[in-house]
Structure 1
Amino acid sequence: MRIGVITYYKVMNFGATLQAVSTFCYLQNNGHTPIFINYQSPEAQENIKKGKNVPQWDAQLDFVNNIITNQTEVCTCSDEVLSQVKKHGIDAIIIGSDALLQHHSFIARLRKGTRKPIYIQSIASDRLFPNVFWGVGINNQLSVALMSVSSQNSEYKLFAPYTVRKMKDVLSKMKYISVRDTWTQSMVMSIANMDVPVTPDPVFAFNQNALHLVPPKQAILEKFGLSESYILLSLFGQAIPKSTISELKDYFNSDGKQLVILPMPTGGDYEYDADVVIKFPLSPIDWYALIKYSAAYIGSNMHPIVVCLHNAVPCFSLDIWGRTNFFNKKVKDNSSKVKHIMGVFGVESNHRMIDNGYCNVSAKEIYKAINAFPIDNVKRQAAKYLDEYNVMMNNIIKAIQ
């Protein structure tokens, strides 16, 4: 089959790039022709334009363009997508994975400000229903599946009734739906009364689908000047103080391990004490390999945790995700996709929330949690998740044929 894929893949995000590459390789390895539909909102196009000649942007785009060789022209709406479907002879479409099933209502975006008493959070158009990521204007023309999509903690209980009816109509036309977390599962149930499965992110199958792309460990150690055993720290900002990072360095150095700073493509500067600092530009595949071969990962974002769990690497999450309320305070619920996946793997105790840029955790807590990480149990769950991924992909192909 000639299968179109719609997802975030030209973004400043290592995990988004790798989930797309994993899907591309799976389809290609199984005899299909994957064609990535280059859907970009006006905001996404502007970000790419601003990123031109920025070394890290160039590294991201070079990697994805060299691997994902079948791509359409840029599409900004469903009509343009359908035009490219016809031009490339696409038989069906897979939408996913990633945070594609988003909507953030006006009420949900109201916040208490500092300079203004109340303000409305700005949201890009591809994070508001209706859009192509929801299959609007597409899935009434050809077979479409939603694969391991996420709502990025959308406050679905605040959706307007009219919007919910439109969402239900679109979802009912899908040939297959699966989601990446229980929050999104509950959202789909609330909207359309559909009990959809929670399925793995494609990065959980990266070693199966794309191991040929991953450099060997010795090459990575030599390229980045690393010792045989190293711990990665990767943060968006000063979530923990420099003194805590220094303590972590001392703990791990006493075990003969380096503390290495792994940069985030987005985020701000922060103070740290470390043995090695990885610099940009950094290829997404080197980023994956650095985590895969590490002795442990400590830090933010979801896909680094996914890479760790997939490879049974001890990890500790300083989590930025989850809903915030009117006062910009974290809401203690199950909306964090990182908390969900760590719970699935039985390592939720290695998870702490970041609230207002700060995480209340000590170096000793992190060190003990890393050393107590249940590697064998995680390996078993990773093998189970790979089986679930393959079942999902088989079901998707059957559904869209």
Structure 2
Amino acid sequence: MKIGILTYYGVHNHGAVLQANALKSVLQKMGHEVSFVSFERNYDYVLAGKAKKYQISLGSIPYYIGFLKEKGIGNVLYNVKKSQILKEFREANFSMVPYSEFNGDVTVVGSDEVFSVEIGYNAVMYGYGIKSNRLVSYAASFGPSTTEDIKQKERTEDIQKGLAQFNAISVRDRNSQNVVRDLSDKKVPLVIDPVLLYGYPEEQQQYIPNEKGYIAVYAYDSRMNDPEEVDAIKAYAKEKGLKVYSIGFYHKWADRNINVSPLQLLGWIKNAAFVITDTFHGSVISIICNSKLVVKVRESNRNKLTSLLGEFDLSDRTIESFSEIDDVVQKEINFDHVNQLLAQKQKDSLKYLTNAIEGKDE
């Protein structure tokens, strides 16, 4: 079949690129012809001048220049280089077709926060104007957006009508499942993120860093900069004789800030002494790489992170304070158990995706 993927392929982080590439790879392994459907993203609810923050292109450079004094030249140069690395990866791996021109057999919406209205409402993600024969979602997420948030932004009717157009809907977290149930009469199974579904087993082995003895920090530039958090991480690293490497994001306080391709990121995570993250995909990548992880859950991602960690019996990997790092690190992870759970979830999620595309569940 000819399949188009609708997702936020241009987000300025490796997790977003890896999830898009993973879904493409799974569909290609199933024998389908796959393209990404390009569109102009809407930023209804972002303050004027801030939208460039969410775009990964040369057009984002003025945004970074705008906070040069606040963030520093190192941050700006790092992100310009990172933008180019991610752009080159997409150009090498993503076949694009404009939204107005795609008329294939199936459109798959997802994964990631494609249903979120936090930044802006994007009608394309709800099937408006889709020309394909079938419309399904895979591991879609509302992110931090709740039914009440949608109501406050006066998008309830738009989203209700949009959800009604789907032939099949799946989501990746409990909050999203609840929102779909509130706004539609659709069955809405939980499935795993494409990165978990694909697993990148061969790609994990392709890049092995020359260095050992480091803590891999995977956190957005704007987070994990609080002096109390930074001091706790650095003190723990010094006590254990470890370096702190920020992988994929810039943190001035880290021993090294390492710019990597999406696939190289897997190698850095896999070979770390352990991972400190406060992101969904930082946790996902640690799971597939069987890397020991410490997770700081923040209010902005509590919905999806607690759902993810709970599904893999990893709820005890979270910290409220960074003074708890050692308590979590000392707890061993039964990765045999985690991998058994993952294998079953891969089987169930692949079954959903196959049936949704072929219309077998209707």
1:373 aligns with 2:361: no
TM-score by length of 2: 0.82
Partner residue, 1:15: 15
Partner residue, 2:102: 85
1:2-401 matched pairs, under 5 angstroms: 2-41=2-41, 43=51, 48-51=57-60, 54-68=80-94, 70-73=95-98, 81=99, 83-86=100-103, 90-104=104-118, 123=119, 127-128=120-121, 131-138=123-130, 142-160=133-151, 163-207=155-199, 210-216=200-206, 219-222=207-210, 226-227=211-212, 229-235=213-219, 236-239=223-226, 240-253=228-241, 258-265=242-249, 269-272=251-254, 274=255, 277-280=256-259, 282-322=260-300, 335-352=302-319, 360-362=321-323, 365-375=324-334, 376-399=336-359
Gaps of 5+ in 2: 43-50, 62-76
SS at match of 2:295: strand
> CA–CA distance in 1 between the matches of 2:264 and 2:149?
41
Tell me: CA distance 1:305–1:160, structure 2 relative to 1, closer, same or farther (3 Å): closer
Q: Which amino acid aligns with 1:91?
A: D
Tell me: CA distance 1:378–1:314, structure 2 relative to 1, closer, same or farther (3 Å): same
Q: Offset at 1:269? A: 4.1
Partner residue, 2:66: none
Q: Offset at 1:12? A: 0.8
> CA–CA distance in 2 between the matches of 1:371 and 1:206?
29
TM-score by length of 1: 0.74
Q: Offset at 1:133? A: 1.2
Q: Offset at 1:308? A: 1.0
Question: Structure 1, residues 118-148: CA drift from partner, whole Å, max 9, x if none?
Answer: xxxxx3xxx32x5111222327x63110110
> CA–CA distance in 2 between the matches of 1:28 and 1:168?
31
> CA–CA distance in 1 between the matches of 2:346 and 2:274?
21
Contact 1:152 1:337 in 2 (8 A): yes
SS at match of 1:149: coil
State the percentage of identical aligned residues: 21
Tell me: CA distance 1:24–1:142, structure 2 relative to 1, closer, same or farther (3 Å): same
Q: How many residues align?
A: 329
Q: Offset at 1:36? A: 0.8
Which deviates the most, 299-308 or 161-170? 161-170
